[in-house]
Each structure stands twice: as C-alpha cells, then as structure tokens.
Chains A and B, each alone.
Chain A
Amino acid sequence: MLKSMDKYVAAAALSAKNYLAYVSEMIFRSGFLVVILFVFVNLWTVTYSRAGAEIIAGFDLRKMLWYLVFTESIVISRPRVHLKVEEDIRTGAVSYTLARPYNYLLFQLSVSFGERMVRFISTLIVGYAVMTVMVGPYFPDLSILPFLTVTVALAMMADLIGMITIGFLAFWVEDVSPFFLVYSRLQMLLGGMIVPITLFPHFLRKLSEWLPFRFMVYAPAKLFVNCDIYQALSLMAEQIILCVLLFLIGMSVYRMGVKRLDVNGG
C-alpha cells in the first residue's frame, strides 16, 4: 500500500520543485494580498475600538487579524486544478491516462498539492511580513506546529479533491467554471475566509457547520491562533473522514464520466 503511494509522493515533490522556480515572481505579485490585509487591519481595528469589545466571536483583535492572514493564504494559494481536469477531458487527454498505472484523481491531487504547498508557504511569508509590520509579530506555540502542518495539508487535500471532482463534471458539461464559482464563493463565506463563522447569526452558522468548507479554511486558521492540541486531534480525524468521503464521491463521478467517454481521432 505504502509502496504504491510512492509515485504520488514523487509527483507531489516534483510539482513542488517545479513551482519553486516561480516563488520570487509570486511574492512580487502579492499586491492584492497586501491591499486586502491593509483593509482588514483598518476594518477590524476600527470595529473593535468602536464596539468597545476585547473579544469578538471568540477572537481578540490580534488573533482576528492573524486568523485572516491564514485564511487568505489558504485560499489564495489554490491552483486551478479544476481547469486542468476540464481541459484533459475536453481535449481527450484523459483517455491516455486510462492505460497508465496510476489513479487519475490521486495523480492530479499530488501534482496540485505540491504546487499548492509552495504557493501557500510563499503567500504566508508575505502575509506574515505585512501583518508583522502592521500589528507586530505573532509566534504560535511550537508544540502545535506539527499538528498545524498536518491539518493544513488535510484541509488543502479536501479542497483539491473537491475541485478535481468539479473538474470531472466536464464529462457532462463543456464549462465547469459556474460550478467552481458557486463552490469557491460558498467556501469564501461559509468556510470562514472573510470572517470567522462564529460571527454568523444562528442559521448561517448552522449552515456552515453542515457544509464541509469550514474544515478547509476556518478550522486550520483557528488552530493557528488558538493552539489547542485536543482540538487539533479531533479536527484531524474529521478532516481524514472528509477526505475519504470526498475521494469516494470524486471516484464515483469519475467512473460514471469515463463510461461516457468518446474520443475521436488520434
């Protein structure tokens, strides 16, 4: 079992290595992150000050701002893997992968995961630098770092499997972007990217708790600012279950799609 996973680890490592070549360019083009963090610092500083509250939705001001750095880094680092899958299906390239000794979903997951880790780390470095200049540095508890790393990796995997599954819809429709749009916007709001879900009114919070997006964004970011090992352990268990469930759904969609595959020409 472990041996058969070697190829996927190698694909992820190769993808990460390839993407390392673009790190400086990516950091240089982080203007949007700087702007949005600047706006968030202003918005929440004024909000805490005018509301006269020390804690809002379970976060003090510094934690709220560092939470947002983390959520932005997770979401901004997302590669466009759904478009790659869509292109493979539309051009028929997916048919060549059928004979290869790998699982197409796991292969795409490995490649996009390698890329995403590099993008995430470089985005987080920029966000960390910007926020340090604006509100001072933040040092998470070192004991939480291994748990945080695993949690972030699982969050990204769950998200990427979701995106690849959306890409599989190209077996039925020509353009999957509307589906991704709905997915990404729901994740943005109900995943807790722009505001912690604890700030929501009751019904929105309930909705968020029923959907998987909070495991992809809110939960790892909360762990970053609220270092709690027990919380991390239960979160990891939930994320593993989510990844397995999404993988099974993704594979079912893929198998249904492949049955419909007609490729013309060579």
Chain B
Amino acid sequence: MGLFLGYLYINAKGLLEYKVSSLIALFGSLLNSAIWLVFWWVFFKRFPNISEWQFVHLFTIWAVLNVALALVSVFYNVYKLPAIINEGKLEYYLVRPKNALFHLLVARMQLIDLLEAAIWFISFIILKPELPAILLFLLMSVISAAIIHGFLLILGSLGFFLKSADGIGTELYNALITFSTYPNWIFQGAAKWIIFTVIPAGFISYVPVQVIYNRAYLWILGGLGFGILLNIIGCVVFSRGLKYFETGSTFVLKAD
C-alpha cells in the first residue's frame, strides 16, 4: 500500500507539471466519445424501435467503459508490458524487494483519466439519478476494469514468449474496445460467443446494461468471476514468463 501511495504521489505531481498536455488529452478523448454519441443519438432517432435498447443504454455502456478504462489507467504499465519486457526495463523491478508485477503496474499512472471518469460518472448521475442504479454503475465499472486489466495482463505477459506480442496485443485490445462500444444484439452466430470468450466485450457492454436496467444480479457474479479468472491467468502467465525470461544487454535503471 505504501508503494502504491508513493507512486500515486509522484504521478499526481507529474500530472500537475504537464497540466496543459493532460487537459488536451482529456479534451480529445471527450470529443471523440461525443462524436460517437452523436452518431448513436442520430441512429436511435432514426430507428427508435430497432431493439429494446435506447440511446440511454448506449450512453451507459460508453460511460461504464470510460470509467473502467480510467481505473485501468491507474495501472497504466499494463498497456506497456511487452515493451517493458523486451526493452530491458523489467530488470529494474526484478532487483527490488517488492512484488515485481505489482511494482511495475503501479509505477506509471495516467491520473488525468480519473478526471474523465468523474465527468462520465456525473453525466450518468444526471441521466439516471437513482441511488441503486448509481451504485450498480460503480460496481459494474470496477468489474469491467478488472476484465480489461486481466485481458491486457494476459496479452502483455505473452511478451515473454512472443516478440510480436505488442502488435498482437494492440490489435486484440482495439477489437475489445471497439466491440465494447456497440450493443451486443448486433452480433449474430459465432460473434455472439466470441464477445463472451476470446474478446470479452460482452461483459463490458451487455452485462452492465443487464445489471443496471434489468437488475439481472446473477450477471454480477458472472462478470466478477470472469474478471478474477482473467487476472489470475494473467498472473500465472506472467510468473511462468519470468522463469522463461533471460535478460538482454539493454538495462534501464529507472522506473517507467
């Protein structure tokens, strides 16, 4: 916990140092989401009876996803795992008397994303000002964050075994995020299974809507279980990878 708080303090100071560029990144992210939400608003205005879903459901999955991504950004190095492994940055963490995986995950935080999360959270409260829905929204955001984190941890840990893990991981992560921003009912046949297994976008889009709007509480257990499972598999792949790991000639002497 001390390690986490220490890095939290350092990263918060860094955020204040680069206020303008952080705010530009925040603005960009919000603008991108806004454009897609306008698209969905147009879509549901044109096809109001296309499904039981309405614009509010689409807004919810975008809000849950963005809050979840902000929570994952607290462990920002999970995105950088293949590069850390392949560019000689892992050794820094291995020689410290701390858990190497936890240490490298918290070493870099993108805290500006938490401000974005707050904006999405407030927007959701305005949209649906009911306490149970707000609490379920928070819970599903945390579960979605766990799923995304576990997914990234598995993909990133493949960097121990595959030189191309970075490229493959980026493609699969982009697929996860893209699928997560569309309603599940557009997917038919095999795609319906894929979004609940290989690319678990269904847990980030369909499940939160089911829990928040239809009070399908069993899905909470399903999502939570899947998130824990992905993280356990990620930790196992990482520790197996560490045994397989051989250091190279590059050695970086600072946390990144």
Contacts and interface: CB of A to CB of B under 8 A. Distances in A.
Interface of B: 20-21, 24, 27-28, 31-32, 34-36, 38-39, 42-43, 45-47, 50-51, 167, 171, 174-175, 178-179, 182, 185-188, 191
A47 interface: yes
21 contacts: A29-B167, A29-B171, A31-B171, A31-B175, A32-B178, A35-B175, A39-B186, A46-B50, A46-B186, A47-B50, A50-B51, A51-B50, A56-B46, A175-B21, A178-B24, A178-B28, A181-B28, A181-B32, A194-B39, A195-B42, A204-B42
Contact of A185 (B24, B31, B167): B31
Contact of A177 (B24, B38, B175, B179): B24
Contacts of B188: 42, 45-46
Q: How large is the interface on A (under 10, 10 to 19, 20 to 34, 35 or more residues)?
A: 20 to 34
Contact of B187 (A31, A42, A50, A181): A42
B164 to A, nearest CB: 10
Given A31-B171, A42-B191, A201 B45 contact: yes
A32 B21 CA distance: 26
Given A39-B179, A47-B43, A181-B27, 20 more contacts: A29-B171, A31-B171, A31-B175, A32-B171, A35-B174, A46-B185, A47-B186, A50-B50, A178-B27, A181-B32, A185-B31, A185-B32, A185-B34, A185-B35, A189-B38, A194-B36, A195-B42, A195-B43, A199-B46, A200-B42
Contacts of A43: 182, 186
A188 B188 CA distance: 27
Interface in A121-154: none
B62 to A, nearest CB: 15
A80 to B, nearest CB: 15
Contacts of A98: none
Interface of A: 29, 31-32, 35-36, 38-39, 42-43, 45-47, 50-51, 56, 175, 177-178, 181-182, 185, 188-189, 194-195, 199-201, 204
Nearest to A178: B24
B158 to A, nearest CB: 16
A50 B50 CA distance: 6
B191 to A, nearest CB: 6
Contacts of A51: 47, 50
Contacts of A199: 42, 46
Nearest to B175: A35
B206 to A, nearest CB: 14
Nearest to A187: B35
A185 B39 CA distance: 12
A42 B178 CA distance: 13
